[in-house]
């Protein structure tokens, strides 16, 4: 069924007037004939609406810091917050030094009522002492949860005292859950401090091998980062650091030595990419290792940047050999998926990135969107930014990277940079709106009511999203795929990932389970009407 403004209005009509007015700004039907189609984003969710969003603490501790394996991450707060961000995101990590891989631990001050009344600083200092005794890490992070900000515990002072006592870095993150409007604020807070206090503090002046790169915004969910690293190493790149999947404190310290920064998830790490450029002169390139063509394009753009004959040749050899290996398998799954339709609603970048892969499987994305992306993720970021600073930029102070006179060096000359920018997306990318077909729907911060309504209207064959709506969707008889946790499968990135993804969703389509579920619109009368505001 094609989506029209009239059908969309049937969903809006069910809202009270004020809510309707607000939600209309967050939903568009793509129309390329219009020069611009603004979509409101990164604003507060209307209270009472069931959103899939997380909080600033989730974005800081759970997303950016959590995957760094050789730091001990202490959560200062009630145990539920610690549990929420305890590896549920499935970022994988392995280490040559298993004694310094703390990824599986959940360490919390387990705040109780008495700590709320009398303060939790002493307890936090004690936990740091215990951590030093048991784990002896080189760096500790402290993440604040909501009550910490409310009662005014001075985590910064505790961190400073612990640094003096133990002689290691103790980083304090004021990422109280209520800050900003979603986890996005937490990414910003984490990025600022990593940039200010860790990145660039290593003693290396230059990288020890040719073609050194950092991989930013890759969190190794289901082993994605490992698959990307496999391909890059095969071609001959030297990976200085990954931020932050399977990441390490030691590697981060020397991230300034990379010649190019690759940005996979722009939403969560654009701040670091920008600051690395200012401080050390390292340009960044938007890549997308989701999908076969996305992977190929990313590899070719990298080769163009380094402009080395041997590297370019090796890039083509690797692409050809990988394709020869995976294409026959991929084609098998394509037969099952082809002609099917999908919804793809994920956090801040995957709603866009995975559409390539659907298209390669012959599937059309009818609706997509983000939980917490900003306007640039929808509308793109071109060389000259046209979009005004958003809510986070106003609320979360931005650490302004000053040029590091000692370490700054232009990685390419200004003339070469200009020539490169004409050929590859250095420092820019297209937003989700650019890539979607006319007539498809783009939704920001889609809520559970809209989820059900859009399903009833468009009846997609597959709904790609997260744990919070998965089972509602499945009970409506629709194949549901978690794009956050990959339903505990993966990797889905790179060449091997594309095949694994195709296999997993094909399994979903081929499952006999669907024969036992009657979608609600087949046996339940649909209530129609409007909600009275009084």
Cβ proximity to ligand HCA, 166 vs 448, nearer residue: 448
C-alpha–C-alpha distance, residues 264 and 259, integer Å: 16
Catalytic residue among 26, 53, 73, 187: 187
- The single residue listed with the structure tokens 């039907």 is 29
Site string for ligand HCA, 155-174 (x = CB under 6 A): --------------------
Catalytic residue among 56, 58, 337, 464: 58
Residue 78 C-beta: closest distance to ligand CFM, Å: 21
Instruction: Name the binder of 267 from ligand CFM, ligand HCA, none, CB < 5-8 A by kind.
Output: ligand CFM
Residue 74, classed as helix, strand or coil, is: strand
Handedness of CA 378, 57, 257, 92 (dihedral sign): negative
Residue 498 C-beta: closest distance to ligand HCA, Å: 20
Selected binder of ligand HCA within 347, 460, 490, 494 (CB under 6 A): 347
Cβ proximity to ligand HCA, 89 vs 300, nearer residue: 89
Instruction: Name the binder of 350 from ligand HCA, ligand CFM, none, CB < 5-8 A by kind.
Output: ligand CFM
Compute φ and ψ for 454, nearest 5 degrees. Answer: -65, -35
DSSP assignments along 159-179, one per residue: HHHHHHHHSSEEEEE---TTS
Strand order from edge to edge, sheet including 462-465 = 27-29, 441-444, 364-370, 341-346, 462-465, 479-482
Cβ proximity to ligand CFM, 200 vs 351, nearer residue: 351
Positions in 477-516 near ligand HCA (CB under 6 A) = 482, 484-485
Within 10 angstroms of residue 439's Cβ, the number of other Cβ atoms is: 13
Selected binder of ligand HCA within 468, 474, 487, 489 (CB under 6 A): 468
Handedness of CA 485, 505, 350, 427 (dihedral sign): positive
Catalytic residue among 89, 230, 300, 398: 89
Catalytic residue status for 58: yes
Cβ proximity to ligand CFM, 120 vs 348, nearer residue: 348
Within 10 angstroms of residue 286's Cβ, the number of other Cβ atoms is: 21
Do residues 85 and 61 lie in contact, with contact meaning Cβ atoms separated by under 8 Å?
yes
Compute φ and ψ for 82, nearest 5 degrees. Answer: -60, -45
Site string for ligand HCA, 171-190 (x = CB under 6 A): ------------x-------
Residue 361 C-beta: closest distance to ligand CFM, Å: 19
Partners of 114 in the β-ladder: none
> Is residue 89 a contact residue for ligand HCA (CB under 6 A)?
yes
Positions in 16-55 near ligand HCA (CB under 6 A) = 52, 54
With residue 370 as reference, give the H or E element that holds it: strand 364-370
Cβ proximity to ligand HCA, 275 vs 462, nearer residue: 462
What amino acid positions are annotated as catalytic residues?
55, 58, 89, 187
């Amino acid at each position: 069924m094609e989506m029209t403004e009239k059908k969309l209005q049937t969903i809006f009509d069910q809202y009270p007037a004020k809510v309707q007015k607000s939600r209309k700004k967050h939903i568009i039907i793509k129309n390329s004939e219009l020069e611009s189609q603004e979509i409101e984003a990164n604003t507060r969710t209307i209270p009472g609406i069931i959103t899939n969003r997380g909080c600033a603490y989730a974005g800081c501790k759970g997303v950016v810091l959590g995957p760094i394996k050789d730091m001990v991450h202490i959560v200062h707060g009630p145990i539920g917050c610690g549990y929420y961000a305890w590896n549920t995101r499935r970022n994988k990590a392995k280490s040559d030094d298993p004694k310094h891989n703390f990824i599986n631990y959940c360490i919390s001050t387990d705040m109780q009522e008495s700590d709320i009344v009398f303060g939790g600083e002493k307890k936090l200092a004690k936990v740091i002492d215990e951590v030093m005794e048991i784990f002896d890490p080189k760096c500790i992070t402290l993440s604040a949860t909501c009550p910490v900000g409310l009662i005014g515990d001075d985590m910064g002072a505790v961190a400073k005292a612990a640094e003096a006592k133990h002689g290691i870095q103790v980083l304090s993150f004021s990422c109280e859950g209520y800050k900003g409007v979603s986890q996005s604020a937490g990414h910003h807070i984490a990025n600022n401090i990593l940039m200010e206090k860790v990145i660039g503090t290593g003693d290396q002046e230059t990288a020890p091998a040719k073609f050194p790169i950092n991989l930013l915004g890759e969190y190794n969910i289901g082993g994605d980062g490992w698959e990307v690293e496999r391909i890059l190493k095969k071609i001959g790149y030297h990976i200085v650091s990954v931020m932050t999947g399977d990441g390490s404190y030691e590697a981060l310290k020397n991230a300034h030595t990379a010649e190019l920064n690759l940005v996979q998830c722009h939403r969560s790490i654009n701040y670091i990419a920008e600051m690395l450029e200012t401080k050390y002169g390292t340009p960044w390139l938007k890549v997308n290792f989701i999908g076969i063509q996305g992977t190929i394009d990313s590899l070719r753009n990298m080769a163009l940047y380094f402009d080395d004959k041997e590297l370019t040749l090796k890039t083509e050899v690797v692409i050809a050999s990988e394709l020869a290996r995976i294409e026959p398998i991929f084609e098998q799954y394509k037969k099952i998926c082809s002609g099917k339709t999908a919804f793809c609603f994920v956090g801040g970048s995957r709603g866009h990135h995975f559409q390539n892969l659907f298209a390669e499987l012959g599937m059309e994305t009818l609706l997509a969107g983000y939980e917490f992306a900003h306007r640039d993720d929808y509308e793109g970021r071109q060389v000259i930014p046209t979009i005004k600073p958003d809510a986070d930029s106003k609320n979360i102070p931005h650490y302004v990277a000053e040029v590091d006179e000692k370490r700054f060096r232009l990685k390419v000359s200004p003339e070469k940079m200009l020539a490169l920018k004409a050929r590859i997306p250095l420092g820019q990318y297209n937003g989700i709106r650019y890539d979607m077909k006319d007539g498809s729907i783009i939704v920001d911060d889609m809520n559970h009511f809209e989820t059900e309504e859009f399903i009833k209207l468009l009846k997609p064959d597959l709904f790609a999203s997260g744990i919070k709506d998965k089972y509602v969707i499945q009970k409506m008889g629709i194949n549901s795929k978690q794009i956050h946790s990959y339903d505990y499968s993966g990797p889905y990135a790179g060449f091997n990932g594309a095949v694994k993804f195709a296999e997993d969703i094909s399994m979903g389509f081929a499952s006999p389970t669907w024969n036992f579920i009657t979608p609600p619109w087949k046996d339940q009368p649909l209530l129609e009407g409007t909600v009275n505001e009084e």
